[in-house]
Amino acid sequence: MSRYYVNKFLYTVDSDPKWVAAYKADPRGTIDRWEEEVGQWLTPSEKTSWLSFTEEEREALATHNYVWLFEHGAHFFLNLTLFIALYDQEYTARSGPLSFQREMADKLSPWVGKEYPSVAL
């Protein structure tokens, strides 16, 4: 389990339009490429040798499964912002403003009234 690494994925993809587009078009392939080109790097020349995803984390990211990510403590802000980037435009065109955000709320509704999974690392 590497919640940090999952957050690093969400954070670095969200902050670069090239990675946002790639993650939208080919999520599974993008994860592998991201690990090579971004995930294992601390700075452009310094490598972190030990970070990796669990199979479940990889699968959740490969299927854009933000519910699983929420339930396993991915940071709520990153989880929201990146999936807005991926889906807001098409949802807004189809069903009006904020319809993606409302669907996300709806899918997470079993958590109303409960303590949410912690985002603490």
Partner 1 sequence: MAELTAVLASTHHPFYYKATTSPPDERPPYAGDWQRKVEAYRETLIAADPDILVMVGADHFHQLWLDNYPQFLIGQAEQYDATFYNEEREFGIPKFLLQGDVDFSRYMHQELMNQEFDLAVSHELKIDHSIICPIITVRPEADLPVVPIYTNIFVPPLPSPKRFYELGRAIRRVIDSYPTEKKVVAIGTGHLSLELGGPRQFGEHGPDPLFDADAIEWLSTGNAEAILANVTHESMSGVGNATHGFMDLLLMMGIAGEGEHADYVDQLDLFHTREMYITWYPYKNQKQAEAATAAAEVSDASTGPIYANDAVWDQFREEKQESEQGTGADALSAVGEGSER
Query: Which residues bind to partner 1, rule: CB under 8 A?
Result: 4, 7-8, 11, 14-17, 42, 70, 75-81, 84-85, 88, 97-98, 101-102, 104-106, 108-112, 115-116, 118-121
Shortest Å, Cβ 101 to partner 1: 5
Radius of gyration of the chain (CA): 15
- Measured from the CB atom, the residue of 68 and 76 that comes closer to partner 1 is 76
- Measured from the CB atom, the residue of 62 and 92 that comes closer to partner 1 is 92
- Measured from the CB atom, the residue of 63 and 89 that comes closer to partner 1 is 89
CB < 8 Å & 24+ apart, contacts of 81-89? 81/14, 82/10, 82/13, 82/14, 82/20, 82/23, 85/14, 85/20, 86/20, 86/23, 86/24
- Tokens coding 101: 């955000």
Shortest Å, Cβ 50 to partner 1: 14
Shortest Å, Cβ 73 to partner 1: 11
CB-based contact 31:58 (threshold 8 Å): yes
Backbone angles phi, psi at 82, to 5 degrees: -65, -40
Shortest Å, Cβ 60 to partner 1: 15
